[in-house]
Structure 1
Amino acid sequence: MGKAKGKGKVETEGSSRERSISWDDEQTKFMLVWYIEYKKDQHANFIWKSQHHMKCADALNKEFAMGVTSAQVTRHYRHYKENWKIVETALNKSGNGFDAIKCKLTISESEKATLKDRDRRLLSKPIKYFHEMQELFSGSNADGSLAMDQQTCCDVDNKSDSSDDEGLNDISSYARPIDIAAEDSDTLPSPTCADNGSSSTSRAGKKRPRGSKSPSKKQQPKPKSRFTDATEKISNTMDRLVDQLGNPPPPPPVPQFCDPYASLWKRIDALPISTNGKVVVGNYLGRQENEGVRGFLASSADTTVETWVYQFMCDRDGA
């Protein structure tokens, strides 16, 4: 019974595992560059999660139509992350040589014998995607500075042999110590101040009296509280209201009536008829039902107005 349960469990785990796919160089580089660009827009404590790997899978499928899943992208990402840990460990060993142009490490045969098969296969040839992995996974910014350059490592050994014969560094160029008598340890000037002149020495050796504050630590003005700002705004508003009430606005201008028939009345008044006749004509044209006649005469010529007035007077008088 126990074997049957164990066998069934293994088959279940195997069926849930995503199948492996083959990645070409263009697809792998696209994936690493995508993670690099995505990470640039994130905060310092950003952590990769499943939804980020899903976004990368969508980008790969749109670019190459791979049909890759999030789990396959995650596994490929972790593979290169583990590769960088191996490379970073080798870079941080000072005995290894590093060719920055070819991105290749030079490791001694004795050290190669201690490496695992995967580490040895990775480090025995130029490291593919070195710069992409360094930008994406580097936690300590390992750049091969501890590893010796292959072209200059022999020169360093020769220089080290010759430097042993030179002995200690020459200290004759050092400035002699200054012996200042009758000075307290609290007032001794620094060597830099002593070299700059007597004026700087006197300033450095002068004590500041107790109770006095440092000139650099000036009291900063306290920020205004919200209550103070609100009080000032209310006071300013009240002042403006008092000014407006003390100086009332001027009364609105009285609209002036403009008679559109003023020119018509002037022309009728200039006609050579009696004043009584002018009054009669004006009363007739001023009625509301005669608005059409007024408008006609106002836009007519002087001869038409004169003819109409004479005819109106004749009709009224029965002549």
Structure 2
Amino acid sequence: MTQPQDREDAGGLEVTDARVTFAGNATPALDDVSLTLPRGRVLAVLGPSGCGKSTLLRAVAGLQALEAGRIAFAGTDVTRVPTHKRDFALMFQDGQLFGHLDVAGNVAYALARRGAPAAERDARVAELLDLVGLSGLESRRPATLSGGQQQRVALARALAARPRLLLLDEPLSALDRSLRERLAGDLRSVLLAEGATALFVTHDHDEALTVADDMAIMRDGRIVQHGSTRKVWAHPVDEETADFLGFTTHLTPDEAQRLGLERAAWALRRGGLRVVGVDVPGALAGRVVRVSASGEATHVSVTLDALPGRELEAIAYPSDDAPTAATLDEGARVGVRVSSSGAVRFG
């Protein structure tokens, strides 16, 4: 396998005070957005529909003009540089493969347009199809491929000319969840192998955690938090961000104190409350409301004696001190522990 192309520049993407307002809307789609993406790293931009993440990606690609602000790459201002001269590649959620070309022709498309010799094109196509696990399918047409295979071809095509920046617009969202989960890990491996710098837009925090090095959370046209995926995941900046990242339970200071936590506002992931045996020392006493199995863990809705009338989401993991799914009947008495790894304090 050939090595990723070395570049003289050491810089990456810089977006500074980017602003976009669409006609008829008083609220900006991008409201003075600034971020940096170092070369060789993958940044996931997450947020709910309408938060501005796709507008940001289009602006970086040169498909959306800024009314104010600056976009630079490797220290060079590209704000007004046409899309085709930025040396960026864009991968869409539906792949947008060329139906009249076979797999090899799709992957080689950018190289052919640049006039690369046939031997170079063939070598790069073979390298990338091996990397994405599609060797032997060179002569197949896109219509004969599965959805997952089509997205692998689209990824190989986007990487073929070794773009300075790869822009991924929810590339896995059209696939079913099990396939998305499998391909997210493959996508991460391919980006690492290519040494790619990538901006990855998604609404799925599980995808972001799998694929990206860094994470930016957007809301109402602004970036509300930006940092490593691990830091953002473990320490969301506010309660709304925590809710978006899967913290299903919010506690008032009074409620937190009754559960043995410091008196402050807290948010808990479902895994922040662990179901254990009713006699386990230090466990909070409660009662099962509902049970649903999910892989190795069992999701359990409970009420706690310390918070009467409040239904909370907990998880029972197979262990010596946890009841089994078969014994978690509705109304059964259980113990519940608060796990610090699934809890975050605000204020």
How does the TM-score come out when normalised to structure 1?
A: 0.17
Q: Which structure: greater helix fraction?
A: 1
How does the TM-score come out when normalised to structure 2?
A: 0.16
Q: Which structure: greater strand fraction?
A: 2
Q: Which has the higher contact order (CA 8 A, sep 6+)?
A: 2
